[in-house]
Amino acid sequence: MAILEVNNLYLSFGGLQVLHDVSFSVNSGEIYAIIGPNGAGKTSILNCLGGFYHQQKGEIFFDGNNISHISPDRRAALGLARTFQNIALFRGMTVLDNIKLGAHAHLKTGLLGAALYWGPAHREEMALREELENEIIDFLEIEHIRKQPVGTLAYGLQKRVELARALAMQPKILLMDEPVAGMNAEETEDMVRFILDIQEERDLTIVIIEHDMRMIMDISDRIMVLNFGQKIAEGNPQEVQKHPEVLKAYLGEKREPR
Amino acid sequence: MEFFLLLLTSGIAVGGVYALIALGFVLIYKATSIINFATGEFMMIGAYIFYSCTVLAGWPAIPSFLIVMAGAGLLGLLVEKTILRHMLGQPTISIIMVTIGLSSILMGLAEMIWSSQFKSFPALFPRAPIIIGDLIIRSNLFWGFVVAMVTVAIFALIFKYAKVGVAMRATAGDQLAAFSMGINVRSMFTLAWIFGSIAASIGGLIVGNIGGVQPNLGGIGLKIFPVVILGGLDSIGGAVLGGFIVGIVENLAGGYLDPLVGGGVKNVAPFVVLVIILMVRPYGLFGRKEIERL
């Protein structure tokens, strides 16, 4: 069953056509990868999904709702979480505070809501949330740094904290923009293990953008290939690897021998 | 020694009021990165609303105070929704010019409505000076300090513990991430202006209660720049400390140096300290330092 459906997405900035008639659907529980050369429009797709870019044409359906025109915060509240290519953590805060903020989506941020939010129901929810936070912290093995300000952490750990924060949102779908970019071999291995565990244990749908081909081919259920804003191929890793258009986009055309 | 303590206590009292006004400034800057040059005029409008309620309408102080808060909140809301919302993404200098323009408009409005004549509030507190040990403090100044500190404490608690406060801190930290966390960033901007305006207007009440109200009451806003820059533009704790430093420095300089040179040092001294501190710490005492990693 498709949890995310994107129909005929067009996006341009001025005269620059960024996405041209891109359609795809992501099935519940799968790892769906979007790959393509630099500038192919991968991050633009995530920004359209998250609500930061507004497509000129096309519609996005998430979990039965048409989310094409609603604001980023409301999409988050519906269960759409995201990690960023350039880490977007709250730098002055500790690891734990960052993770706590992940659960924020499920609390109403309205002015009145804040004033009326007290009593036993409040306490009960706090307890539940603390349990969730602890579980996530254990799961991602960041117990030892929970009190540290995120700004002081190594790059790989910051990426992990960002993932933890996204999980604390209890999303239905997780959009990951280059989760292992700039990581060393060991950090990459850890991250891959976490992504697979998340999908398995939490039954989470993951949409991932990544340049690390070996990783993508290892973990993805299905892959979409973009080039110059257009979808040129889609399928499981074996199919995509053999696809002539993909080879052309990545390796260039083979010249006829003279 | 007694003279020194006298100057010190009145410096602390004045500093507390500065801290509150600076808080109004920092709340807005922290969330929206807008430097609000109309902070002083927000104070002035708050003071005039209080004057209208107590003197013109003859209402008691407490309901009048609540009306001031509501009016100031409304002013902040209107300014954000009708003017600054549309300036998002414009160059900083344009936004600064807009707030400067806004300050002139508010001053002109006040003159049209309340005339440029000096007005004063009815006596709110017992006139007898407050005596602590050997020290004597003017009653209006003492109570102004108390009100300012209570207000600052309430805002600090909201920021630290209330959901709204946490969401505002997150918005100030990283807007993109805040959006992705399901925080309604736009309403946080509006809220920052409402809070900022309320803080400034309470500051205006205190200043008006001490020295009376006229359209250029907001001129004291100029003194707030050393306070906020000293503390670091985006730090609430810094604003409070900056307020005390400026209040104390001003009073000590006024007490000891003014008689020697024939006056004027009192107003300049905070700026001298400001320049010295900025030379040593360009981000202010507690400002956020952007660390570039290569």
CB pairs under 8 A between A and B: 82
DSSP-derived 3-state class of residue A155: helix
pLDDT band at B124 (very low <50, low <70, confident <90, very high): confident
**Given this model, what pLDDT does residue A113 score?**
47
- Listed range (A19-23, A60-64, B69-73, B177-181) with the worst mean pLDDT: B177-181
The mean per-residue pLDDT over the stretch B51-60 comes to 91
Residue B13 is assigned to a structural domain of this protein: yes
Dihedral sign for Cα A81, A83, A85, A88, please.
Answer: positive
B207 in any annotated domain? yes
- Torsion over CA: A130, A131, A137, A138 (sign): positive
Instruction: With CB atoms and an 8 Å threshold, state whether A104 touches B166.
Output: yes
Per-residue confidence at A109, pLDDT binned at 50, 70, 90? very low
pLDDT band at A125 (very low <50, low <70, confident <90, very high): low
Q: What number is the average pLDDT over the span A156-182?
A: 91
- What architecture (CATH level 2) is domain A1-79+171-258? 3-Layer(aba) Sandwich (3.40)
User: In 3-state terms, what secondary structure has residue A83?
Assistant: strand
* Residues in chain B within 8 Å Cβ distance of A176: none
Is B182's CB within 8 Å of A71's CB?
no
CA distance linking residue B9 with residue A16, whole number of Å: 64
Closest Cβ–Cβ partner in B177, B183, B185 for A89: B177
- Give B145's contacts (C-beta < 8 A, 6+ positions apart): B12, B13, B14, B16, B17
Is B146 within a domain? no
Q: Which of A28-37, A165-174, B115-124 has the lowest mean pLDDT?
A: B115-124
Closest CA to A39 of A60, A13, A7, A57: A13
Residue B191 has pLDDT above 90, yes or no: yes
Most confident of the ranges A104-113, A156-165, B220-229:
A156-165
Strand partners, A80: A173
Is the pLDDT assigned to residue A116 strictly greater than 70? no
A243: number of CA atoms within 13 Å, CB side?
19
User: So what's the pLDDT on residue A255?
Assistant: 66
pLDDT interval class at A100 (50, 70, 90): confident
Is residue A21 scored above 70 in pLDDT? Answer: yes
What B260-266 contacts at long range (C-beta under 8 Å, 24+ apart), as own/partner pairs, is none
For residue A119, is pLDDT > 60?
no
pLDDT of residue B260: 84
| B45 located within any domain | yes
Name the band, by pLDDT with cuts 50, 70 and 90, for residue A177: very high
The tens digit of pLDDT for each residue in B237-293 reads 888 888 998 899 989 998 888 888 877 788 888 888 888 888 887 777 776 655 444
Cβ atoms of A35 and A237 closer than 8 Å: no
Minimum mean pLDDT among A189-198, A245-254, B182-191, B257-266: which range? A245-254
Burial of B128 (0-12, 13-18, 19+ CB in 10 A): exposed
Q: Which residues of chain B make contact with A107, given a CB cutoff of 8 A?
A: 163
Please report where in the chains the tokens 């257009």 appear, as a residue.
A230
- Give the model's pLDDT for residue A253: 65
Query: Is residue A193 very low, low, confident or very high in pLDDT (cuts 50, 70, 90)?
Result: very high
Nearest to B181 among A51, A93, A101 (CB): A101
Lowest mean pLDDT, pick from A53-62, A247-256, B19-28, B285-294: B285-294
Chain B nearest-CA residue for A152: B291
**Distance (Å, rounded) from C-alpha B154 to C-alpha B150?**
6
What is the spatial distance between Cα B242 and Cα B247, in angstroms, rounded to a whole number? Answer: 8
Nearest to B8, CA basis, from B124, B129, B132, B126: B132
In this complex, the residue of B176, B181, B288 whose CB is nearest that of residue A169 is: B181
Residues 76..105 of B with a Cβ closer than 8 Å to A: which? none
What ipTM describes this predicted complex?
A: 0.78
Strand order in the sheet with A80-83: A80-83, A173-177, A205-209, A31-35, A222-227, A230-235
CB contact under 8 A, A77 and B291: no
> Cβ contact (<8 Å) for B182 and A169?
yes
Please give the residue range of the domain that contains residue B60.
2-127+164-280
Compute φ and ψ for A180, nearest 5 degrees: -115, 10
Q: How many beta carbons lie within 10 A of that of residue A153, not counting itself?
A: 18
The closest alpha carbon to A195, from A182, A178, A211, belongs to: A178
CB contact under 8 A, B182 and A76: yes
Q: What is the mean pLDDT of residues B16-25?
A: 90
Q: Which residues of A touch B154 (CB under 8 A)?
A: none
How many whole angstroms separate alpha carbon B36 and alpha carbon B228? 12
Q: How far is it, in rounded angstroms, from Cα B102 to Cα B240? A: 26
Which residues of A make CB contacts under 8 Å with B? 50-52, 71-74, 76-77, 81-82, 84, 88-93, 100-102, 104-107, 109-111, 113-114, 117, 151, 165, 169
Residue B292 belongs to some domain of the structure: no
* Count of the separate structural domains present in chain B: 1
Answer yes or no: do A82 and B288 touch at CB < 8 A: no
pLDDT for position A104: 67
Say yes or no: B62 contacts chain A, CB-CB below 8 A.
no
Distance, in Å, from the CA atom of B79 to the CA atom of B190, rounded to the nearest integer, reads: 9
Domain ranges of chain A: 1-79+171-258, 93-169
Domain assignment present for residue B14? The answer is yes
Q: Which of A91, A104, A114 sits opposite B182 (nearest CB)?
A: A104
Percentage of chain B surpassing pLDDT 70?
97
Q: Is residue B70 part of a domain?
A: yes
**Mean pLDDT within A221-225:** 94
Tell me which residue has tokens 């998250």.
A50
Question: What pTM does this model have?
Answer: 0.82
Beta bridge partners of A5: A25, A61
- pLDDT at position A107 over 70: no
Of A72, A89, A107, the CB nearest to B179: A72
- Shortest CA gap A255–chain B (Å): 41
Beta bridge partners of B131: B136
Which ranges of A62-212 would DSSP assign to H, the alpha helix?
72-78, 95-102, 111-116, 119-139, 155-168, 185-202
**pLDDT interval class at B106 (50, 70, 90):** very high
| φ, ψ (nearest 5 deg) of residue B127 | -75, -25
Alpha helix segments (H runs only) across chain B: 2-32, 39-51, 61-78, 92-114, 139-161, 163-173, 175-180, 185-211, 221-231, 236-256, 258-261, 265-280
- Mutation to test the A interface, candidates B154, B158, B180, most A Cβ within 10 Å: B180
Of A104, A114, A117, the CB nearest to B181: A104
Cβ of A109 and B167 within 8 Å?
yes
Q: Assess whether pLDDT exceeds 90 at residue A206.
A: yes
Strands B130-132 and B135-137: antiparallel
Residue among B173, B274, B229, B252 at smallest CA distance from A94: B173
- Give the pLDDT band of residue A60 (cuts 50, 70, 90): very high
Contacts of A109 in chain B (CB under 8 A): 163-164, 167, 182-184, 187-188
| Res. A110: pLDDT tops 60 | no
